[in-house]
Structure formats: C-alpha cells, structure tokens
Structure 1
C-alpha cells in the first residue's frame, strides 16, 4: 500500500459530510481554493457544488468547471494519489449519469464507476443489488417511497442495474452492470477489482459499516496497484475510505460550541414528510417559537418577497428579544408545477427569500440549525457567504456541525448544523436544539 490517497468529494449538497469530521468543506472552486483542500491535513475534503438544485445543463457546467480547476490544482500541488467521489443523495435522487459522465470526460479514463448508495445512519442498505430503506425490522425498496416520486429526480426501480438502465436511458443496459453481492464483499473483491476496465458500472451491496470497511480496503489496495475508480456514493463509503479516529468533541457535548447565552435560530426548508414530523415536535419545545414563511403567497405573487421578508424578520426579532428561539419554516403544502424547470426556478426564488432571512438574523445568535440539503448549501454559500468551513463532527448520527471562521464579518465562530431532510427520528431537530441551547445546559 502507498500513502493514503486524498479523497476528493464533489457533493451535490452539503450533507454528504455527515459521517466524517475535522475536514474542509469548500463552497468555491477556484484553483487556489481547491489547493487548500488538497494541502489540508485531513485525508478527505468536500467541494459543495449544490448541483441537485440546478437544471441538468447547469449541473453539468458546474461539474465541468470544478473538474477543470481541480486538474490544475492537482498539478500545482503535485497530487498524484487521489480518489474521486460524486456524492449524492442516499435515496437515489440526483443528476446521474450527468455528473459521473462529466467527471469521466474531464478527469478520466476510469476503470469503473461504483454505485454505493448505502447510508447506515439513515437506514439505507443495499442487498442483492436492491436499495432499501430500513425502519425497525421492515425494509422498503426505495422505489416504493416518497423519494422515488420526486418531481425532478423520480425513478421506478430499486434494483440498481434497472435504475442505472433507466437513468442512462439504456446507454448502460441492466445486464452490463457488474454486481458485487454481500458474499463477494465479505469474501474480498480485490481480484475482481483488478480486472475491471472501460469505466464499467458496478452495483455494490452493503448491509453494515463493516461491509463498507472491507470493500474500502480492497478498493485502496487496487487503487495503489494502478486501478482508477470513480464513485457515485452516499456518505457511508466515505467513512470507510477516510478511516478517521473518533471526532474531537462527542455529539452530546456539542453545546460547548454555542456562542454565549443568547437563543439560536432554526431554518427549515425541506418539505419531506420526515421533516414535517420533526418540525411538529420541535414546535412543542417551550422556548421555541414557530414562524411560517408563506411560500404559497410567493408562488402567487413574486413581488411579495419584500413583504414576507419584513414580516418574518419582525417576528424573529420579537421572539429573540423575549429569549425565544425562532424556528423559521416554509409552509408545508406540496405545490405543483407545470414542469421541472418551473419547479427548480420556484425553488431558487424560495431560497433567495430564505437567504435574505439568514442575513437578517440577529448577529449574536448562539447557533444556527439548517434543515434540508439544498437549504443548508445555500445557507453556507449565499446566506453566510463562506468560501470554506471546517467540519466539527456530528451532533446526531448523519447530522453535521460546521463552524464559520473567526473573521466572519457578521457571524464569527458560529456553529451551523447541516441537517439533511430525510435523516433522524421525529424528535431529532428538537434534540439538536436542546443540545445547543443554553435552556438545556
């Protein structure tokens, strides 16, 4: 084995870092910013591209720009040992194969690209090449869940070879997808890994983190022997590839990162059912005040932005002055649109409103919780205008905390919780709020 390769993750929202810690999240991808990640001590870093919020053409253009700058940064830093991961949602939503095709065209050739959507903290497992969501003893194929009905990224198959054929529109036929089943993973896959070529697609089973650990060791060995691999992956593979020690501050002690004794603020953009259930429990906490952002009104009248912003910030300041934590949430109705482009454009308009709200928050909030992947990305890149942030670790399984730099002009050293929409039990946001609140200390 050679030295640990640098793991470079192009993340389609900022929640893919939900199983690692102490690494950099890059919000920009100029060459010198990418060099920061390549030269950082951590074996892994993330480039937050937010492509899941973009139409296909823009997603491809962003991915291409990152890859071209990365090629220069790799050259400038003399980095030759690296692995590339296209991190995507663990429920199979996202721009596949657009992103992996662009990466392969710009930074290839690769011998294989692996489909590894397992994410154990979120109950996602892959068995017999079929991807499931596990809840208690029940496993539901993901095509039977609300995630498969996504208005932009919907799909009809949980069996990964069929999913690949569907998403590539037959360019990769189901029978062309190599399958690494659980028995293969557990017996060792090194020999097969060494025989892969021509960027073949490989569907990978994993039922436990130990499965990923075993697979990652074989991957690293094969890579050290010259094989070039690309990954379309959720977060659990990253845990195994990075092989980090425990995070410096335990999840239950994350409250020590909160700034002072003031209330925090909570921003809820995700509208999946799990988030709505969590919001309901959060609003039962005595020190939390719910403030609704009426996005239905915004859909009816794009000019309503200024009025809604003024009303929300007035309510936020009233709650804050009374020592209450404002929980700002988008109205929960599922809106319908004529086409995907209109849906994405409206999502961008809602995000612009939410980011204006973030910029209008009291400057001395103790913490900020951002619920939803795209919401979290926009909070970091636009609301807080960060170039990079240091990942502290997880406050709950699958829920990361980053901190703004000490020289941030508005919110220095602010702990920001990046909370995926589809992660956690019903009391999860409430638990995080209590861990970070002075009310619970």
Structure 2
C-alpha cells in the first residue's frame, strides 16, 4: 500500500505512452475490478490504466471511461482507499477526447473542485508559457496550433492559447474568460491559497517551462488535497513525474540491454504515421543489423479483407523468419503514403484493420526474439493488450527520455520476460529510434 501521507495516483491513459517519465509501477491493460485492485495494492504510488481511448470515437471513449470509473469506485471501496488523485493522461500536443473524458470522470467520481489542463512535457520539448502551449521545432518554440498535430483529422484544433482551446473544445460551454490561469510567476511564488479557493470543477490551465515548475505545482496541489480539496488533472507526462516523486530508475537507460533475452535480435513494429516517425524510421533502416519489411496497407482497402490479411501475414512471416535466422532485427512498418477517407469513423475503422494485421504479426514473431520496440501510441497499446494479450506489465523505466520499457511477465506463454519498448510517435530526434535499437543491440555493434 502507498504511504498514508500520499494519495494513490490513478492514471487513465488514453494511449500507453503516458508512463514515459516514471518507472517501477504497474500498467494495467484491463480494468475489471480485480485487475484495478492489483494497481491499488501495488507498493508504487502510481499506476496506469491503459484505456486506448484516443483510437476510439468520442462515444466509445466516453463509454470506456465510464466503465473504468464505475469499476474503480468498487475497487476503491473494497480496498478501503479514500485518499486518491485521478489523472486523465493525454497527448502533449493537445490531441485527444477533451472534454469528453474529464466530463465522464467528473460525473462518475464527482465532487471535484477543479480540473487542470497541464500539457507540458519537457522530455518531448513541449512547454506552456503565459497559457500558450509550445512545441519545440528545430530548436524554436512554436505555438502548437502551427504544427502538424493541430491538423489531425480526428482531433484538430485552432488555438494554442489554452483558454481559447478550452472554449473551442467545449463548444463555448466554458468560455475563455472563465478559465483560471496559473502562469509561471504564480506557480513559482506558490499557489496553495488560490487552490484552496477553487470550487465547482473550475477549469484551470497551468504553465510549465521546467520540471521545477510542475514540481512546485504538484507539491501545492498535494498540500491543498491534504486539506480536503479534490482535483482532476488532464495532463501530459511531466506532471506525473512531479506527483509520483520517484527516485531514479534502477537501471540506467544506457544499460537497458541487460533486459534483452539471450542477446538475441529483436523486432520493431512501426505504426505511427506522423512526420517525425517517418524520419526516424528512415534513419533506423540505415542502421547495421536491421532488415526492413514494409506492409502495404493500401491492399487492405478491399471488401474481403480477410483473404488479403492472410496473404500479407504469410508473406511478412516468411520474411521475418528468414531475417531472424540470419541474426537480423526486423523493422516491420506500415507504408508511408497518406490515405484519405470520407469521414473520421471510416478512418478509425481502417486503423483497426491495420492494427489487427500488425497484432497478428506480433503473435507470429519467433519466440526467441530478444526484445520488441513498438513505435506509435495506439500501436503500443494494441501491442500490449492484443498482440501480447497482457493483463498487466511492470514498467522498468526509460531507454530514452520519454520512451518507456516494460517487461512481459515470466509466465507469458510465448514471450516470457520479453522487454517491450513503448515509443511515442511524436518523441525524439531523427536518430532516436535507431538509438533505442542500438541500446538494446549493443552486443552486435562491437
């Protein structure tokens, strides 16, 4: 159980990359009451429930979030826990089902005095200053509405100034002028008194330029919570670092090869299509020891998709087997051309079709692989919950800033103790994916 003076931090993560700044805790791929009780009983102060709602429609995201919260209420009661914090973890580039998920959490778990948007993610180059959210592009702080992420076909938006973003996403239910702003000067001088005045689920937006800023905000939030205030956070990963307040991870990022099974070559699965991923993939394919296998997803745009699925799987499996026997790590990646769809629902359904193929690929990987790298948030969630069919996994730490590694349980029927890297689509420089691969393949680089 967690120390009595610190609340249990329960993170509903809309893809599995929100744990990218913490370690030594549980990721739960299921949310039935008994599984949630595993998280509540764990000694770590924080655990994650991987809902994968970013891959869903808004109505499905609401239904999943509602089910998690209803089960969580039961699990909390059974464990006798009253002191807890809830975090709706989402994307540091403002993509996701806001306010759908926070609205459902508030309705089901009720009584929040405020909810806070804290999108800063320092390891990924995302900061918030004067309530404007920035993404570092080639070393330049760029308002996030000017980046490719704001043009996302599902979660697009027009504003980087967070009060305007809130008004846009709530369709005017919360107007910008009513949003409470916590700017850097406020937070650096302490905000406990202001936090104590919040009520009626007040919407607040929070600056963050350095980890110290969010450390101070987290400490003040915990102080207010200890005096009876109830807060809900819509957050990127860096706030979780502050709330959990963990010591350094047990094994340094550069030494993560110690988890690789039998010094064997591994596999890389690349599903993300953002520009950064494509650049990283090109760099990886030039690395020694890598065999690239492209999956032409356009072939899946047919009515009888089962036949094409089977044919593609057979071809990919043969290429993987040949490369693995030759001591190569395989990089299986979806074709990079941009496909267009008549509406969001059709796009999401096609994404599920592609994911089903990639998950079948994972299930057909050689059982002797040494490691697995999953590139892309939704791809990584499906890798854990479907490809590997895990109920839970232990988070080991980060192999690169913002890039987590988990390990399958020893009793896994196909891949016992397989280390799995969860690599977000929008994190790292051009060489980052190759660097992660090299850190796990150091035995073959001499």
Scaled to the shorter chain, the TM-score interval is over 0.9
The answer on 1:244 being equivalent to 2:246 is yes
Instruction: Kindly tell me the number of residue pairs found equivalent between the two proteins.
Output: 441
Residue by residue over 1:328-379, the C-alpha shift from the partner in whole angstroms, topping out at 9 and shown as x without a partner, is 0000011111000000000000000000000000001000000000000000
Give the C-alpha shift of residue 108 in structure 1.
1.0
Whether 2:48 is the aligned partner of 1:46: answer: yes
C-alpha separation between the residues in 1 aligned to 2:80 and 2:444?
50
Counterpart position of 1:305:
309
> Who is 2:207 aligned against?
205
**Alignment CA distance shift 1:273-1:137 (3 Å):** closer
CA contact (8 A) 1:269 1:330 kept: yes
Q: 1:334 aligns with which of 318, 331, 338?
A: 338
- Work out whether residues 13 and 48 of structure 1, in 8 Å CA contact, stay in contact via their aligned partners in 2: yes
Alignment match, 2:351 = 347
Q: Which residue of 2 aligns with 1:91?
A: 93
Look up the match of 1:433: 437
TM-score by length of 1: 0.99
Aligned equivalent of 1:315: 319
User: Alignment partner of 1:392: what SS?
Assistant: strand
**Structure 1 residue runs without a partner (length 5+):** none
Cα deviation for residue 2 of structure 1 reads 6.2
Q: Any conservation in 2 of the 1:2–1:224 contact (CA below 8 Å)?
A: no
Report SS of the residue matched to 1:395: strand
Q: Which residue of 2 aligns with 1:189?
A: 191
2:228 aligned with 1:226: yes
Q: Deviations over 1:121-151 (max 9, x none)?
A: 0000000101000245411111100001111
CA–CA distance in structure 2, aligned partners of residues 213 and 77 of structure 1: 29
1:307 CA displacement: 0.8
1:14 to 4, 16, 39: 16
Residue 164 of structure 2: aligned partner: 162
Are the equivalent residues in 2 in contact too, given 1:294–1:330 (CA < 8 A)? yes
Counterpart residue number, 2:389: 385
Aligned residue for 2:301, secondary structure, equals helix
Give the Cα separation in 1 of the matches to 2:130 and 2:90.
Answer: 21
Partner of 1:59: 61
In structure 1, what is the Cα distance between the partners aligned to 2:247 and 2:301?
A: 47
> What SS does structure 1 have at the residue aligned with 2:262?
coil
Distance 1:250 1:2 in 2: 30
- Runs of 4 or more, structure 1, over 3 Å off, are none
Q: Tell me how far apart the structure 1 counterparts of residues 249 and 28 of structure 2 sit (CA, whole Å).
A: 20
Taking structure 2 as the reference length, what is the TM-score of the superposition?
A: 0.98
Asked if 1:140 is matched to 2:142, the reply is: yes
Range that drifts further, 220-229 or 312-321: 312-321
User: Post-superposition shift, 1:300?
Assistant: 4.2
What corresponds to 1:420 in structure 2?
424
> 1:87 touches 1:235 (CA, 8 Å); kept in 2?
yes
Query: 2:175 & 2:27 partners in 1: Cα distance?
Result: 35
Cα distance in 2 for residues equivalent to 1:20 and 1:308: 37
Could you say what the CA RMSD is over the residues aligned between the two structures, in angstroms?
1.0
Offset of 1:299 from its aligned partner? Answer: 2.0
What residue is the counterpart of 1:103 in the other structure?
Answer: 105
Shift of 1:286: 1.9
State the alpha-carbon separation in 1 of the partners of residues 293 and 301 from structure 2: 18
